[in-house]
């Protein structure tokens, strides 16, 4: 194993899959219409999935349900768990502004840091 834990998150991975030339051309035209490269588009999708973006998670849930990858009960349970997780995050975590306020207070109290 050549990777160390200190390198985790710094290494890049290549994602490859195949689509028809027609589907690829349609995608490229749509992306050009929106002034996006393929790389920008797929990185945005990955970021949305990893940050639990409601819109993309809803899309994925609907797609999986329509493709019968997940049964309806599992999709319903998944949505319920996501909502519960979001509520717990609201209840027990600080907002970005609150975190910034904490750092401002620390900076005022200990300017040498």
Q: What is the mean pLDDT of each run of 10 residues along the chain (113 residues)?
A: 71 92 96 96 95 89 75 77 81 77 82 72
Q: Let me know whether 45 and 8 are in one domain.
A: yes
Q: Let me know whether 79 and 39 are in one domain.
A: no
Over the chain, what HEC string results? CCCCHHHCCCCCCCCCCCCCHHHHHHHHHHHHHCCCCHHHHHHHHHHHHHCCCHHHHHHHHHHHHHCCCCCHHHHHHHHHHHHHHHHHHHHHCCCHHHHHHHHHHHHHHCCCC
Q: Let me know whether 73 and 57 are in one domain.
A: yes
Q: What count of other Cβ atoms lies within 10 Å of the Cβ of residue 22?
A: 8
Q: Let me know whether 14 and 32 are in one domain.
A: yes
Q: Let me know whether 88 and 104 are in one domain.
A: yes
CA–CA separation, 13 and 83 (whole Å): 31
**What is the tally of structural domains in the chain?**
2
Which of 51, 74, 90 delimits the end of a domain? 51
Q: Let me know whether 65 and 105 are in one domain.
A: yes
CA–CA separation, 113 and 75 (whole Å): 48
Range of the domain at 18: 1-51
Cβ contacts of 57 within 8 Å, gap of 6 or more:
49, 82
Q: Is 65 in contact with 79 (CB distance < 8 Å)? A: no
Q: Let me know whether 43 and 72 are in one domain.
A: no
Q: Let me know whether 33 and 66 are in one domain.
A: no
Q: Let me know whether 89 and 102 are in one domain.
A: yes
């Amino acid at each position: 194993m050549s990777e160390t834990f200190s390198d985790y998150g710094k290494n890049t991975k290549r994602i490859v899959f195949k689509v028809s030339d027609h589907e690829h051309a349609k995608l490229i035209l749509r992306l050009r219409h929106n002034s996006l490269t393929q790389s920008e588009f797929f990185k945005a999708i990955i970021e949305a999935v990893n940050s639990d973006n409601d819109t993309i998670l809803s899309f994925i849930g609907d797609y999986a349900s329509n493709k019968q990858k997940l049964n309806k009960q599992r999709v319903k349970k998944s949505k319920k768990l996501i909502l519960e997780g979001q509520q717990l995050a609201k209840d027990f975590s600080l907002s970005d502004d609150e975190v910034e306020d904490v750092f401002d207070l620390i900076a005022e109290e200990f300017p040498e840091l």
